[in-house]
Amino acid sequence: MKKVLKIAGIILGIVLVLIGGFALYINATGIPSYDLELPENYAVSADSASLTNGEKLVRLTCMDCHINYENQLLEGKKMFDVPASFGEVWSANLNHPETGLKSYSNEELAYLLRTGVKKDGKYAPPWMVKFPNMADEDLRDIIAFLRSDHPMLQPSEVRQPAPRPSFLVKFLSHVAFKPFPYPQQEIALPNAGDQIARGQYVADAVAGCFSCHSADFTTIDEYTPVNSAGYYGGGNLLKDAAGQDIYSANLTMHPETGIGNWSEQQFIDAVKWGKGPKYPVRVPMPKYTDLTDDEIRAIFAYLKTIPVIENSVDRTR
């Protein structure tokens, strides 16, 4: 019996050493890097329609995290709404003349936005949104706009501090958060006549509504959003404007804990103007004034098709 216990102790000791060594390795190496496999000749058009659509998409997807509201430049800031378990995070200055996005080629930008891998091979952790399912037409328009001389893209010499990812983020970046594969074929926009498909596209592939409104940031699936735990069931821990805990709303059609009793117009008012039927929509939820009423109607139509989740979220806090 003593021999068995001794062997078990030795095995346990070895396991603990291996776990400790792996933890030290992760903490020392930080966020992993990857080889780039860039697309060829990712040409964009700078016509007025493309730039207008690109500006709208940047306002929907990039501005909330990167805008300095005092000068209206995309020069980055500290992100107070990132969960404390992820560490301390500052968004990048997209306008810096040396390190900003204009130092990227079209191909490097497309690769970053699709896969999450920067031009130096470093992986962008989970707080940076990726667009693995965005249509190429929209992605090209975003890149065209980021190349423009729009006022919000004027050069800025501000250098934001480097993010300080937690051990959890470093660990997940090694074992769970991985770069998405770059599409082998062009991704097309959904059929304009298919309201439900358009709603899913705007909600999931463009605005990324599922990421906040599913159960937890650590269990969302950006590549296949419907596989996210608690898909649109809410309850994800966020931070409000005062840095206090706030939980995302349940957007499934449950009549008591979700939005099953909301009208289409009430949903439009909440998404676009922050006017909820019972309580105002609060930070960190932005007002999506750039979305058209038809786009929001399409999102509402799509939400009617997903599984209903009973999840009571305290919206009074």
Residue 217: what pLDDT?
86
- Give, for all 317 residues of the chain, the pLDDT tens digit: 555 555 555 655 555 554 555 556 565 667 888 999 999 999 999 999 999 999 999 999 999 899 999 999 999 999 887 777 888 999 999 999 999 988 999 999 999 999 999 999 999 887 788 999 999 999 999 999 999 999 999 999 999 998 888 888 888 888 778 899 999 999 999 999 999 999 999 999 999 999 999 999 888 898 999 999 999 999 998 887 777 888 999 999 999 999 999 999 999 999 999 998 887 887 788 899 999 999 999 999 999 999 999 999 876 55
Residue 24: what pLDDT?
63
Long-range contacts formed by 36-42: CB under 8 A, 24+ apart? 36/108, 36/111, 36/117, 36/119, 36/121, 37/111, 37/182, 38/105, 38/107, 38/108, 38/110, 38/111, 39/107, 39/110, 39/111, 39/182, 40/107, 41/107, 42/106, 42/107, 42/109, 42/110, 42/140, 42/143
Residue 112: what pLDDT?
96
Domains of the chain with CATH codes? 48-175 (1.10.760), 195-303 (1.10.760)
Rounded Cα distance between 253 and 157, Å, is: 47
Residue 176: what pLDDT?
75
Residue 28: what pLDDT?
60
Q: Is the dihedral of CA 260, 264, 270, 276 positive or negative?
A: negative
Residue 264: what pLDDT?
97
Residue 43: what pLDDT?
93
